Amino acid sequence: MSICLPPSFTPSFTLAIPTWNGAARLPQVFDCLGAQVGTAELAWEILIVDNNSSDATAAVVRQLQADWAETELGRRVPLRYCFEPRAGLAFARQRAVGEAEGAWVGFVDDDNWPEPGWVAAAIAFAHRNPDLGAFGSRIHPAYGAVPPEDFHQIEAFLAVRDHGEAHQFDPDQLQLPAGAGMVVHRQRWLDSVPESLDLVGRTADLMISGDDYAALLYLHRAGHGIAYNPAMVMRHAIPAQRLEPAYLLPLAYGIGLAICQLRFINARGLGRAAIALRTLVGGLRRMAYLLWCHGFSLGQNLNHCFYFCFFLGGALSPLLALSPRWGSWLKFQRIQALTTLWPLSQLLSRPTTPPPPSPAPWTLF
């Protein structure tokens, strides 16, 4: 569906929504986008990137376009759609940057619910900080079930971030904003980030994360600043299934597997060998410490198991960094089956809690 706009319309900001099989999730995102305030004088657009979905995403987008065009906001803000056949969030975000018409591109995943002032806060921050390469949001959780005890200790791994009113990131220590809610300068991304990243994001075959951090590290390497904007607030919908060990432990392992490749981005020559050795030894040392402290009772505590898997992935990450062909051998299920010392079976064999009804967008536990 085409949207009639003045011939001179040029958006300064593109809100990009990468989605994979997001037919059921996208309408809730648009409920939040339709409630955006403070944008009456701003030129922006919305771009949905369909990342090779196999559900009814395309049909849902067509209906969203028709409904959006009938709203007051929709008559000012174009809603475009494109298809990216390569599976992986990195490919979807790369396609979004290539297709965007705005000078700045903000990424909102299909399970993110931006607060009403998110777009206005993003554009205002970009105007005040024109030399940045990227900046991130404040992200609160919207849990679909009561989270496990002390879950706050690991929720940052699920893109839940609240750094208060001020924060300085440290890219050299892999302290960076989450890809969800991230805003990037389009041209600086195109100039700095390779068209094909080694880390492509979680796919159906392998839950290796780090694609968002990789892009940010390339921006950092090119000398572009990375900041935090506390005025950009969104909520991340986390369904009950993502609070279960069967999801969380492979997630932790996949995040760990990305560590060495991320550290390689700003390293050269023999420095990479030192990083690989340090990452291997550091992961093994931390695993040994957990086992020393908790022994086989480790399997009774979700947080301890989570960090055990994270450190295990980190220890093995040099293999993946030195040869991506190892990826097929480093799948969580294969490592789990081959490992003789595996204190996690108590959690992984626990019955999965059936999901409750979907919560309202404002529900927070």
Residues above pLDDT 90, as percent of the chain: 69
Phi-psi category of 336—alpha, beta or left, where left has phi over 0 and alpha has psi -120 to 50?
alpha
pLDDT confidence of residue 206: 59
pLDDT at 281 exceeding the cut of 90? yes
State the DSSP string of 86-125.
S-SHHHHHHHHHHH--SSEEEE--TTEEE-TTHHHHHHHH
Q: Is the pLDDT of residue 341 over 70?
A: no
Mean pLDDT in residue range 273-295: 91
What pLDDT score was predicted for residue 357? Answer: 35
**Per-residue pLDDT at 339 exceeds 70:** no
Residue with structure tokens 């995102």? 29
pLDDT tens digit sequence for 131-176 = 999 999 999 999 999 999 899 999 999 999 999 999 999 999 999 9
**What's the mean pLDDT when you consider all of the chain?**
87
Could you tell me where in the chain the CATH 3.90.550.10 domains are found?
13-243
Predicted confidence (pLDDT) at residue 48 exceeds the cutoff of 80: yes
**Model pLDDT for residues 186-196, shown as the tens digit of each residue:** 999 999 999 88
The yes-or-no verdict on residue 268 having pLDDT over 90 is: no
Q: Helix, strand, or coil here: 45?
A: strand
pTM above 0.75, yes or no: yes
Check whether 356 has a pLDDT greater than 70.
Answer: no
Please tell me the predicted confidence (pLDDT) of residue 205. Answer: 54
- Strand pairing class (112-114; 104-107): unpaired
* Predicted pLDDT at 364: 23
The pLDDT value recorded for residue 352 is 41
167 vs 358, higher pLDDT: 167
Alpha carbons 58 and 80: distance in angstroms, whole number: 12
CATH 3.90.550.10 holds for 13-243? yes
Confidence of residue 203 (pLDDT cuts 50, 70, 90): low
87 pLDDT tier (thresholds 50, 70, 90): confident
Mean pLDDT of 70-82: 94
51 C-beta neighbours (distance < 10 Å), count: 26
Residue 353 has pLDDT above 80, yes or no: no
Judging by DSSP bridges, how do beta strands 132-143 and 225-238 pair with one another?
parallel
Position 53 pLDDT exceeds 80: yes
